[in-house]
Chains A and B, each alone.
Chain A
């Protein structure tokens, strides 16, 4: 059986600067795969390319058996690929409920949408309590919960999370990681970009280490967690 997402020799450039220089990886249904790496490695660029926000220079993206290269960004979510972007990117002047509804923008089953909103409120009770509050007024952690909830509203086959723990307190970060673990246990397929390598590798089935546009190391989460170079570079050991 072929993987849910297959990326082959993907190259992406901003003008003349190549930010992703030919990477290949795949995500199997049910897996959590993580991309880790330092600032500017090209992780966000990779996710934005998968979502169609940036056109790749070369390479192949196949999702659920269909090539994504020429699909415009607004059609990708309906194929089952959801993206919770770096920096959360909520619609700040819309309420929590409205943000969630936008996550289900293309769905027509209003009963299912209502049900999924309830699920999001069950997953993050604070969102339910504040559902009519403008999302721009939420704390960083609450915004991250909403960003994840919004991405889930499309009932994705693959959920892409870009640095969900960015800028959060240790407690909030732990809460977000627990949520990802819970989503995983429910069978959600996740492509997780993280700077917090320890947390990401601990829960990932597979991991890839990116450095200046290349994947320099791949393995299971456990293998990378115990890899000496990874421990030195990303887990602050020497």
Chain B
């Protein structure tokens, strides 16, 4: 077990990213029981928004200065697309057959990918994303890329802010009520349409932050980046118990750790030599998903369905 602390850090970083994206799946599901399969693309749009902001800024702007602008732009683009999707694609289908919004979500996901592919300049190939200069930093014996520090700061802040917002604010309380019983929430005077929009917006904003982190970590964005990241984040949401925001955070971290550790050490397990290394790294998430669905379908923190009123 060489460099275990490094691998754990790596797993936590991946996990924080998955967790941030997973919030969008879980909040929307918790409130409207919809799996928004276009959420991965909302994440991708966030990445392109950040890149666009970077390209607009004058040459020579330092990334430190640019970063807040990029984050803001990423969130704005992702939120606009997220809210637009809710308004134009999902809301008209509410109350209809359950399959309709699901199919719409898949269609929307493809449409968004293709729109970026077709209309964003040069997006037919991977576009390079700005990187922090100056190599890695060493923190408590672990070497980190500078870009990863952004995520290590942003992710806990976002999660704490969300937890406080949901449990303490008036809108957060209304959100809990709407997710537990939307009709009765209306009887209390809660504008549930507005709550649903808020859930989409928060999910999109978190995905946008994850997208900036993703760009900084891998040095590129692509119109396809939402697919695998979205699928893994969805896995994280299910793993943690879909509908539960703490579950999304925990599921993300569990998934990130599992992926990092499996990638690093699977080759050392007798009989599993051929499954080691990066080539298999996208497989472990889905192995884990299948295991969870078999052994604990409600996820780590999920309630049994019968607990829902």
Contact = CB atoms under 8 A, between A and B. Distances in A.
A91 B189 contact: no
A51 B189 CA distance: 10
Contact of A77 (B176, B189, B307): B189
Contact of A93 (B174, B180, B184, B191): B180
Interface of A: 51-53, 72-75, 77-78, 82-83, 85, 89-94, 98, 101-103, 105-106, 136, 150, 154
B188 A105 contact: yes
Contacts of B185: 91, 102
A75 B187 CA distance: 8
Contacts of B225: none
Contacts of A101: 173
Interface residues of B, number: 19
Contacts of A136: 307, 309
Given A53-B186, A74-B189, A94-B180, 5 more contacts: A51-B187, A77-B187, A91-B184, A102-B177, A150-B188
14 contacts: A72-B186, A72-B191, A73-B183, A73-B187, A85-B184, A85-B187, A91-B177, A92-B309, A93-B176, A94-B173, A94-B176, A102-B177, A105-B190, A154-B188
A76 to B, nearest CB: 8
* The 7 A-B residue pairs with the shortest CB-CB distance in the complex, in nearest-first order: A73-B186, A106-B189, A77-B189, A89-B184, A91-B180, A105-B188, A92-B309
A89 B181 contact: yes
B192 interface: yes
Contacts of A102: 173-174, 177, 185, 188, 190
A92 B188 CA distance: 15
Interface in B254-309: 307, 309
Interface of B: 170, 173-174, 176-177, 180-181, 183-192, 307, 309
B173 A75 contact: no
Nearest to B174: A105
A154 B187 CA distance: 10
A170 B111 CA distance: 60
Nearest to A81: B187
A51 B190 CA distance: 13
B182 to A, nearest CB: 10
Contacts of A105: 170, 174, 188-190
A66 B101 CA distance: 36
B194 to A, nearest CB: 9
Given A89-B309, A90-B309, A91-B181, A74 B192 contact: yes
B183 A98 contact: no
Contacts of A78: 189
Contact of B186 (A52, A91, A98): A52
A92 B307 contact: yes
B29 to A, nearest CB: 16
Contacts of A83: 187
A164 to B, nearest CB: 15
Contacts of B190: 74, 102, 105
Given A78-B189, A106-B189, A136-B309, A91 B183 contact: no
B200 to A, nearest CB: 18
A154 to B, nearest CB: 7
Nearest to B170: A105
Nearest to A154: B189
Contacts of A90: 184, 309
A91 B184 CA distance: 8
A2 to B, nearest CB: 25
A77 B309 contact: no
A136 B309 CA distance: 8
A82 B177 CA distance: 17
Which of B173, B183, B187 has the largest count of A CB atoms less than 10 A from its CB? B187
